[in-house]
Structure 1
Amino acid sequence: MRIMVWHVHGSWTTSFVQGGHDYLVPLTPGRGPDGRGRARTYPWPDNVYEVPYDRLAAEHVDLVVYQRPHEIELAREWLGRDVPGVYVEHNTPAGDVPKTRHPLADRADIPLVHVTHFNDLFWDSGRAPTHVIEHGVVDPGHLYTGELPRAGVVVNEPVRRWRVAGTDLLPTFAAAAPLDVFGMKVTGLPATLGLADDMAAFEDLPQREMHAELARRRVYLHPYRWTSLGLSLIEAMMLGMPVVAMATTEAVEAVPPEAGVISTKLPTLVRALKTFATDPELAAQAGKAARSAALARYDVHRFLADWERLLGEIVPDGATGT
């Protein structure tokens, strides 16, 4: 099958393109949001092809994976024809959450895939046929050493996503353990928070390098108040890191008690962070449990099998051309 998919979420796409199909990723001049092409910091297989947007009409495409509402019209414009599609909703609803209606709620022609059961529960999906395909992560291996008595945090754009990402809470956590922040647009964050001596920032590292560095930290901190389910949390668990996380959205399903501490009580989380940072044996034990839990629930092969079943329903005869 030949599948067109935008490079929107690098970690999710890294797992999705392991499925053995041909994946066509739009490319625009300047590699802007609608045409980033192949990832530069994620290890994508050779069956992912970046295709200039103005050449897509000449390509055979069996299926389009939408991840943002405007992509539906964009695909029709660039392909010059209608192609079966599926919409992946990565995010929790925003705004007046109990009343948040999904952009596809009035359509019954495009299957809507939620990446967590929490999202499926909280979005008003209307008439859209819905499915839940939980995340799958390519196993980075048990890389944990925990040699540094510091906490690792992964967050993209922490200033823009201030309260959503829990950036405002980092000074409180830094009082319990020094923090290292990884992600996009994190440079300057320590000074912004007044924590230049207690925090280091690592920006845009290749995924393999980030995993290796993260695994040197004693504990993983997930301070997000409102996010679908950060793939960085699952990746940290697979690395073998103990977890301290907000008991919000899907995290309560992802992190069992033996894998770390989840709570809505900030003092409880601060104490847990300090305990893991100062007790390497306890941290390693919880990290092993975290890895086992993540492998059991978020294995990439289960993820791909779930997707293969759904793709078979949308395009029953599979690839229809080359």
Structure 2
Amino acid sequence: MTVHHPTPAPNTAVSAETASADMSQGEARTPRRVLRILLWHVHGSWTTAFVHGGHTCLLPATPDRGPDGRGRARTWDWPRNAVDTPWERIRGSEPDLVILQRPHELALAERLLGRTLGRDVPAVYVEHNTPRDDVPVTRHPMADRDDIPVVHVTHFNDLFWDCGRAPTRVIEHGVPDPGYRYTGETARTGVVLNEPLRRWRFTGTDLLPTLAERVPIDLFGMGVAGVPDHFGLPPSRLRAHEDLPQGAMHDQLARRRAYAHPLRWTSLGLSLIEAMMLGLPVAVLGTTEAHEAVPPEAGTVSTDPRVLAEALHAFHEDRDLAFRTGTAARAAALRRYGLTRFLDDWDRVLQEVTS
């Protein structure tokens, strides 16, 4: 069964300051029935939202804090119900549910638990990514079984993945409200990309020079330090800010005049939603789920990078326009991607799967 969430009707008559704030980071709620959930810390932003649901989240932890043992986040504010769980203690942890996020986790979880997922222990597979390879006929790793539901984070992914026999649902992202912080005092455009040189066309890294011709850019994220030299662009056109803590990055972004989101092939970058919640006006490459996330009053969505560059230039030239658009962007993001809605959706699925 596929569950779709309707898009709320636009309502731009909400000021940035008075827009109803959602749950903020660090506050975990108390669910009706607290579950013990085994899940790996794979995507920091998504996991941050999920652990705020108040369930006991058992996070595999290894001494090297590698990809299969990151445990609790070191630079994010997570509530106490997110618990480091060494590998050797997983077998006796008795989870009510396992959340899978990568194909190899199915065999790994069964080995560590000594139990079969879908039969001995309920499981859900969260698909964070757009399909690769032979799109749109890419088969999902869970496509041949009907005992592990697949939960997509966007309707686009639900449409493009071939999930075969697997039941599917859509639970759109939820983001802790960072609060309205926009000042726009720095006449530069913010961009957030992780590993942009390695991911290249996926992240739209190749589009940065086109944008930088019209507006100076400040690039934030992991692995961004070498990007200006790669393009031969001076700091006046492109500056890199390597791997700032989330709170510091939000403060820096809020000072920028506008936000650009050039990603080509991604489910929906949470940095875009965060920028909108901060109150920045946005210019977004119109691929995958972008048109759903950004209504017309909140910014510009286009598949033409030159259109995005001109929109950013307009925000730089007209601060009133930038403030009005950013106010609408914040209201739109809070309506659709608030943390409370996300946790409500997940509670329904968790209770259903474990009942």
In 1, Cα distance between the equivalents of 2:226 and 2:75? 21
**Equivalent of residue 258 in structure 2, options 216, 219, 223:** 219
* Aligned twin of 2:310: 271
**Equivalent of residue 302 in structure 1, options 332, 341, 344:** 341
* Aligned twin of 2:128: 90
Q: How many positions carry a matched residue from both structures?
A: 316
In structure 1, list runs of 5 or more residues that go unmatched. 317-322
Q: Deviations over 1:150-174 (max 9, x none)?
A: 1111111101110111101101111
In 2, Cα distance between the equivalents of 1:108 and 1:138? 33
What is the identity, as a one-letter code, of the residue corresponding to 1:27? A
In 1, Cα distance between the equivalents of 2:63 and 2:233? 38
* Aligned twin of 1:137: 175
Does 2:112 match 1:74?
Answer: no
In 2, Cα distance between the equivalents of 1:64 and 1:16? 13
In 2, Cα distance between the equivalents of 1:181 and 1:305? 34
Give how far 1:241 is off: 0.6
What is the TM-score of this pair, normalised by structure 2? 0.87
In 2, Cα distance between the equivalents of 1:109 and 1:305? 23
What is the identity, as a one-letter code, of the residue corresponding to 2:39? V
* Aligned twin of 2:32: none
**Aligned ranges 1:176-215 → 2 under 5 Å:** 176-197=214-235, 198-215=237-254
Q: Deviations over 1:180-235 (max 9, x none)?
A: 11111112211112123222222222211111111111101000111100011111
What is the identity, as a one-letter code, of the residue corresponding to 1:243? V
* Aligned twin of 1:146: 184
Q: Deviations over 1:8-42 (max 9, x none)?
A: 10001100000011111111231111111111122
In 2, Cα distance between the equivalents of 1:99 and 1:130? 16
Does 2:299 match 1:260?
Answer: yes
**Aligned ranges 1:95-174 → 2 under 5 Å:** 95-174=133-212
* Aligned twin of 1:320: none
* Aligned twin of 2:13: none
In structure 2, list runs of 5 or more residues that go unmatched. 1-34
Q: Secondary structure at the match of 1:29?
A: coil
Backbone CA RMSD of aligned residues: 0.9
What is the TM-score of this pair, normalised by structure 1? 0.96
* Aligned twin of 2:93: 59
* Identical counterparts, % of pairs: 64
**4+ aligned runs moved over 6 Å, structure 1:** none
